[in-house]
């Protein structure tokens, strides 16, 4: 079970940057052996109309779901509009092949309710399955003693709120700790593009937010260059917009790493799912008083389990463990963040 987001979306569109749907997606539309001669296979080298690509991204329509009527099977804007309004094709299938549902007894069927999947839920389902099918996903775990942050926060929260007009939460500490760790282990902040690894010399931090319609992941841009106050303000603003369903596509695109907080729902431990095309996601969990050994003595400390899910295709075990240890060190001694250590 994972509250982690391999998903980010508005009710009407998927969040993946256009590059996450590679041009090669057209190749997937090549006719299957059983297709009749009257459906010519689109040529792989045909470029779809730019307006059609934009329309597909905005409408959350997969390239495979559109029948191109342009020259050589090129997809035109009108084709996308047709596919988006087609009743069956409107929602992409959550999985390539789904076993038919077992029949219900008449007594059970009378007590069931069947509701059409929303566009957002179908998009989330498709992207989660894509993440599992594509990445070599693995999770590494650690735990962090939150006493240092809680003490620092208790000391300064009133002054912080008075000066910056925003509450000092835990998220800014986690964002800052991740930014530091990403500089040391840059492959966690990278993505695979075909045969290349694209390293990002910036951090656009995705912050997963639960909404009544599903999980969305707004992005705090250039988080590595922002102050604690700026990060807290942006997270608060984006969270509010997410819950009101007012996030724009631009606000959910281009993230390089994601933080998911299942702790707000009471999760003690989980393995979050990647948010493609990113290579890493940090799962936060609930803070729980636990007995731990400090200097040979058993003491009670506010502990949190941390989970880092990563794409093993480009992040090896050493890099993943190092990243999580650096996050733990920065959180347990938050002065390190202020000293840029």
Instruction: Kindly list the catalytic residues.
Output: 312, 316
In 214-265 the beta strands, taken as DSSP E runs, fall at 214-216, 219-220, 257-261
Q: What DSSP element (H or E) covers 59? A: helix 50-59
Q: How many helices (H) and strands (E) does the chain have?
A: 9, 11
Give the Cα separation of 260 and 171 in Å (integer). 10
Decide if 208 contacts 215 (C-beta within 8 A). yes
DSSP 264: G
Give the Cα separation of 146 and 140 in Å (integer). 19
Give the Cα separation of 136 and 315 in Å (integer). 10
| Three-state DSSP class for residue 304 | strand
In 236-314 the beta strands, taken as DSSP E runs, fall at 257-261, 280-284, 288-294, 297-311
């Amino acid at each position: 079970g994972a509250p982690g987001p391999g998903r980010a979306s508005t009710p009407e569109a998927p969040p993946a940057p256009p590059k996450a749907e590679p041009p090669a997606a057209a190749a997937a539309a090549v006719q299957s052996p059983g297709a009749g001669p009257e459906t010519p296979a689109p040529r792989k080298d045909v470029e779809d109309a730019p307006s059609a690509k934009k329309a597909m991204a905005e409408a959350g329509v997969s390239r495979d779901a559109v029948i191109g009527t342009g020259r050589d099977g090129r997809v035109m804007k009108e084709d996308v509009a047709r596919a988006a309004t087609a009743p069956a094709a409107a929602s992409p299938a959550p999985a390539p092949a789904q076993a038919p549902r077992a029949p219900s007894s008449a007594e059970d069927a009378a007590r069931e309710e069947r509701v059409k999947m929303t566009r957002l839920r179908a998009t989330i389902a498709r992207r989660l399955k894509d993440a599992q099918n594509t990445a070599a996903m693995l999770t590494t775990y650690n735990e962090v003693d939150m006493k240092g942050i809680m003490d620092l926060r208790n000391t300064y929260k009133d002054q912080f709120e008075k000066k910056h007009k925003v509450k000092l939460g835990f998220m800014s500490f986690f964002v800052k700790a991740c930014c530091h760790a990403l500089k040391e282990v840059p492959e966690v902040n990278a993505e695979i593009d075909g045969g290349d690894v694209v390293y990002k010399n910036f951090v656009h931090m995705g912050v997963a937010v639960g909404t009544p319609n599903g999980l969305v992941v707004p992005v705090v841009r250039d988080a590595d260059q922002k102050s604690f106050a700026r990060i807290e303000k942006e997270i608060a603003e984006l969270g509010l917009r997410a819950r009101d369903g007012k996030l724009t596509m631009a606000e959910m695109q281009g993230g390089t790493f994601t933080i998911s907080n299942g702790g707000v729902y009471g999760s003690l431990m989980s393995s979050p799912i990647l948010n493609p095309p990113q290579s890493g996601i940090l799962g936060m969990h609930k803070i729980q008083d636990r007995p731990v050994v400090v200097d040979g003595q058993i003491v009670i400390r506010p502990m949190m389990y941390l989970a880092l899910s990563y794409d093993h295709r480009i992040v090896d075990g050493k890099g993943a463990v190092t990243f999580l240890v650096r996050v733990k060190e920065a959180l347990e001694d938050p002065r390190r963040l202020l000293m840029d250590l």
